[in-house]
Amino acid sequence: MDKTVIKNSIGSLDQLLSRAKSALSQIEQDRFGLVDDSDTGGFVDPKAALGDTLEELHDILLVVLEAAEMPEAKASMIEEWPTFTSAKDGLSHVEVDTEFDYCASPALIFVKRLIEALRMSVSKQISSEEAWTLARLEAMLEDTAGLVHRREKPPKDEQDLQAIMHDYLSACFPDFRKNPQIGGSIKNFIPDCGIASVGAAIEFKIAHTKEKAVVAFTGVVEDTGGYKGSKDWTRFYAVMYQAKPFILKSQLQGDMKRIKAATWKAILINGDTEPKRKKKKAQAKESA
């Protein structure tokens, strides 16, 4: 197996896979009348888009498997593919579950599993305990809005947000670290917190306005450069907590890919905030 070929192809395969997932999501929305607040457009014909994208994925995967010297995987794909193309709608075929308002594409499931297997074959393996810890951590970070809401008082600034999340994370993870230092050649970098056993450092950003959201993302970009090279801290999470959906998840993920922040995962959260009110000049004069 030629791992270099796989590593070089994963990015393009993921882009096509994302397009196929978006097309399936739109099919599901149209079928059940669902609304996606993050939707910024869509496909004129999502079923056709799904079929065309899966066909493109098939053709590229055959080339990748050949170049990566994986004849068994290629042969398996060639053998299995007619099962999907022979369906009534071909590669555009989806199975509809009316009980749970759910649509599934058998061909997409097959391709997704194959790409995931390729990714696992070239990635560093982690223990089952580490995998559980990372899964639990990411679940908690994704639930930031709900955890903050339980406090019944919206955060005013990053210190408020950090205090709330530090409380939850420290209770869940015994190896929680507040403000761990990441040594640099010129200066040390200090993330908000981290989970030592999995080398995961976490930054929390808060934005009350669109302008603040842009500033917060700029801070994340600067962090991606400063946090490189640590042997102890190798995974990084940026939790962007914004009062309204000023920045879309697709935009954030796209920019993270553009700056090649491979070891970073950005998590976008929308939730209530309570910005500090500035005293009016008139009030200031009266008090004087």
What span, in angstroms and rounded, lies between the C-alpha atoms of 42 and 221? 29
Task: Give 28's pLDDT tier (boundaries 50, 70, 90).
Answer: confident
Residues 116 and 141 in one domain: no
Is 90 exceeded by the pLDDT of residue 190?
no
Residues 254 and 153 in one domain: yes
- Record the pTM: 0.55
What span, in angstroms and rounded, lies between the C-alpha atoms of 21 and 105? 9
pLDDT over 70 percentage in the chain: 88
Residues 97 and 222 in one domain: no
What pLDDT is stored for residue 124 in this prediction? 62
Residues 86 and 7 in one domain: yes
**73-122: per-residue pLDDT in tens?**
999 999 999 999 998 889 999 988 877 677 889 999 999 999 888 887 77
Is 50 exceeded by the pLDDT of residue 40?
no
Q: Is residue 276 part of a domain?
A: no
- Whether the CB-CB separation of 6 and 122 falls below 8 Å is answered with yes
**226-266: per-residue pLDDT in tens?**
676 677 888 889 999 999 989 888 788 777 777 777 778 88
Q: Is residue 94 part of a domain?
A: yes
Structural domain of 191: 128-270
For 208-256, give the secondary structure using H, E and C.
CCHHHHHHHHHHHHHHHHHCCCCCCCCEEEEEEEECCCCCCHHHHHHHH
Greater pLDDT, 280 or 88: 88
Greater pLDDT, 206 or 277: 206
- Which of 122, 152, 175 marks a domain boundary? 122
Tokens representing residue 184 in the block: 């640099």
Tokens representing residue 221 in the block: 């970009």
What pLDDT is stored for residue 61 in this prediction? 94
Provide the residue type at 38 as one letter. Answer: S
In terms of average pLDDT, the best of 25-39, 123-137, 177-191, 195-209 is 195-209
**Element counts in the chain: helices (H) and strands (E):** 11, 7
Q: Is residue 138 part of a domain?
A: yes
Residues 47 and 164 in one domain: no
Residues 153 and 139 in one domain: yes
DSSP state of 146: H
Greater pLDDT, 277 or 66: 66
Query: Which of 215, 207, 194, 263 has the alpha carbon at shortest distance from 240?
Result: 207
Neighbours of 54 (CB within 10 A): 28
Residue 235's beta-bridge partner residues? 200
Q: Is residue 280 part of a domain?
A: no
Residues 13 and 66 in one domain: yes
Residues 135 and 247 in one domain: yes
Is 60 exceeded by the pLDDT of residue 288?
no
Query: Which of 133, 154, 134 has the alpha carbon at shortest distance from 145?
Result: 154
The number of domains in the chain is: 2
Q: Is residue 260 part of a domain?
A: yes
Query: Which of 259, 252, 124, 144 has the alpha carbon at shortest distance from 198?
Result: 124
The backbone torsions φ and ψ at residue 18, rounded to the nearest 5 degrees and listed phi first, read -65, -40
Instruction: Find the range with the poorest average confidence among 139-153, 180-194, 240-254, 271-285.
Output: 271-285
Query: Mean pLDDT in the chain?
Result: 84
What pLDDT is stored for residue 240 in this prediction? 92
Task: Give 143's pLDDT tier (boundaries 50, 70, 90).
Answer: very high
Residue 90's region, left for phi above 0, alpha for psi from -120 to 50, else beta, is left
What pLDDT is stored for residue 282 in this prediction? 46
Residues 112 and 133 in one domain: no
Query: Which of 82, 164, 174 has the alpha carbon at shortest distance from 129?
Result: 174
Residues 118 and 133 in one domain: no
Greater pLDDT, 187 or 245: 245
What pLDDT is stored for residue 248 in this prediction? 84
Q: Is residue 110 part of a domain?
A: yes
Is 90 exceeded by the pLDDT of residue 128?
no
Q: Is residue 284 part of a domain?
A: no
What pLDDT is stored for residue 38 in this prediction? 44
- Which of 69, 103, 122 marks a domain boundary? 122
Q: Residue 201: which CATH number?
A: 3.40.1350
Residues 217 and 257 in one domain: yes
What pLDDT is stored for residue 37 in this prediction? 45
CA 137 from centre of chain: 13
Q: Is 107 helix (H, G, I), strand (E, B) or coil?
A: helix
Instruction: Find the range with the poorest average confidence among 32-36, 95-99, 116-120, 180-184.
Output: 32-36
Residues 265 and 139 in one domain: yes
- Which of 122, 157, 184 marks a domain boundary? 122
What span, in angstroms and rounded, lies between the C-alpha atoms of 63 and 71? 11
Tokens representing residue 2 in the block: 């030629």
- Whether the CB-CB separation of 154 and 36 falls below 8 Å is answered with no
**Average pLDDT value for residue range 145-157:** 90
Q: Is residue 286 part of a domain?
A: no
